[in-house]
Amino acid sequence: MLMNKTYNIEGKKVDCLFNMELSAVLNRQTNKKTVLLVDENHYQLHQSKFSTFNIIIVPSGEKNKTQPCVDDIINQLLQLQINKDDFIIGVGGGVVTDITGYVASIYKRGISFGLVPTTVLSMVDAAIGGKNGINVGLHKNMVGTICQPEFILYDFSFLESLPDLEWINGFAEIIKHACILDKSLFTFLEHHDITSFKNDKALLKQLIIQNIEIKFGVVQSDVNEKGNRKLLNFGHSFGHAIENLHGISHGEAVSIGMVIASKLSEKYTGLSSISTLQIIELLKKYGLPITIETDGETLFNQLIADKKRTGDDIQFILLDNIGAAVIKNISIPALQLAYKEMAV
């Protein structure tokens, strides 16, 4: 049986619960009113698990990670007379975990919360680290806070209903972890494929826990993203721009963003072209796209509206090697030129 584990993030304890039912967790806090914010699709598939709880259904999909959805949730919390001392729990993928963290950090100036990630991506990445937020127009995660949940509860059985595309999306962030910090994880992934993880629950849990460790390790060292935490943005600058312009999923967009960042790494940090090819092959092996037909100029304009811009430079996460990422400032004209030179 997997042991629960507590991580300490700047004095705030976050319990990772691997062997507890949600009802048992709720029984720990009988004096609090608790409301579950549940992803709509997930709710349809697992309704019986939620019959005894107060529920707010959160409409599924990235298009709903917006202020009107947050306002609607806040109105429902007010109607349910949820107070500052009560508790909310987000159950869903990264969209719901991001929304829940955001609502929790602003509702009545802050209410405690927990998360139950239900997609691979949210289990290994989105639910961890306290970053939350919503999109504003075409700008991803433009508004948000950093606010840690009290617990993250892992119920791996939820993954049984996850569509194939969402499995693939999750592996984009897993491959990202390997690219930036863990060459041995990269090699491990090269020796397996999605089917092997779907068919072997122990192997899947091992992989997810390894990625939880990686993400918590980075967040613990730099919760406010002043240094190392920026490495987790590998593939995300172009990725976010692509996601918004083309409406493709986060994982797919990050995958294409990682290919662009690898090619930029060849130019700026001397990553070998063989390493770029290895990354491309691994992404393809896990069913991820490596390119998209796009209008380069529009994409570039979207990119430079990105929040990671500092003055005339864009801060980019590049690779020295597979498993070793670095932060590099690149001027916008130089980046534009390099991007034009690349056949992505």
Ligand X SMILES: NC(=O)c1ccc[n+]([C@@H]2O[C@H](COP(=O)([O-])OP(=O)(O)OC[C@H]3O[C@@H](n4cnc5c(N)ncnc54)[C@H](O)[C@@H]3O)[C@@H](O)[C@H]2O)c1
Query: What residues make contact with ligand X under the rule CB under 6 A?
Result: 39, 41-42, 45, 60-62, 65, 92-96, 98, 118-119, 121-122, 125-126, 129, 131-132, 141, 158, 161-162, 166, 169, 250-251
Q: Which member of 64, 132, 211, 233 is catalytic?
A: 233
Q: Which member of 28, 109, 191, 226 is catalytic?
A: 109
Q: Are the C-beta atoms of 288 and 170 separated by less than 8 Å?
A: no
Q: Nearer Cβ to ligand X, position 149 or 323?
A: 149
The 3-class secondary structure across 275-340, one letter per residue, is HHHHHHHHHHHCCCCCCCCCCHHHHHHHHHCCCCEECCEEEEEEEEECCEEEEEEEEHHHHHHHHH
Q: Which member of 49, 215, 230, 263 is catalytic?
A: 215
Helix H or strand E segment including 201: helix 201-221
Minimum distance from residue 207 beta carbon to ligand X (Å): 16
Minimum distance from residue 31 beta carbon to ligand X (Å): 29
Identify whether 233 is a catalytic site residue: yes
Helix axes 332-341, 296-304, angle to 10 degrees: 150
Q: Nearer Cβ to ligand X, position 86 or 98?
A: 98
Minimum distance from residue 172 beta carbon to ligand X (Å): 9
Q: Which member of 173, 177, 211, 243 is catalytic?
A: 173
Q: Nearer Cβ to ligand X, position 126 or 303?
A: 126
Identify whether 177 is a catalytic site residue: no
d(CA 286, CA 175): 9
Identify whether 139 is a catalytic site residue: no
Please report the sign of the dihedral spanned by the C-alpha atoms of residue 282, residue 286, residue 287, residue 289. negative
Q: Nearer Cβ to ligand X, position 49 or 263?
A: 49
Q: Nearer Cβ to ligand X, position 41 or 211?
A: 41
Q: Which member of 229, 230, 244, 263 is catalytic?
A: 229
d(CA 113, CA 105): 9
Q: Which member of 49, 176, 230, 236 is catalytic?
A: 236
Q: DSSP 3-state assignment of 12?
A: strand
Q: Are the C-beta atoms of 106 and 12 separated by less than 8 Å?
A: no
**HSE-CB of 273 using CA atoms within 13 angstroms:** 1
Q: Nearer Cβ to ligand X, position 39 or 86?
A: 39
Tokens of 336: 């534009």
Minimum distance from residue 169 beta carbon to ligand X (Å): 5
Helix axes 183-190, 201-221, angle to 10 degrees: 160
Q: Which member of 40, 213, 225, 266 is catalytic?
A: 225
Identify whether 250 is a catalytic site residue: yes
Identify whether 191 is a catalytic site residue: no
Q: Are the C-beta atoms of 328 and 319 separated by less than 8 Å?
A: no
Residue of closest CB approach to ligand X: 94
Identify whether 229 is a catalytic site residue: yes
The residues with which 89 forms a beta bridge, in sequence order, are 36, 114
Could you give the C-alpha distances from 283 to 34, 73, 279, 342, in angstroms and in order? 40, 37, 6, 19
Please report the sign of the dihedral spanned by the C-alpha atoms of residue 292, residue 163, residue 203, residue 130. positive
Q: Nearer Cβ to ligand X, position 249 or 275?
A: 249
Identify whether 63 is a catalytic site residue: no
Minimum distance from residue 4 beta carbon to ligand X (Å): 21
| Best CA proximity match to 302, nearest among 86, 139, 58, 130 | 139
Identify whether 236 is a catalytic site residue: yes
Identify whether 240 is a catalytic site residue: yes
Active site residues: 109, 131, 173, 215, 225, 229, 233, 236, 240, 250
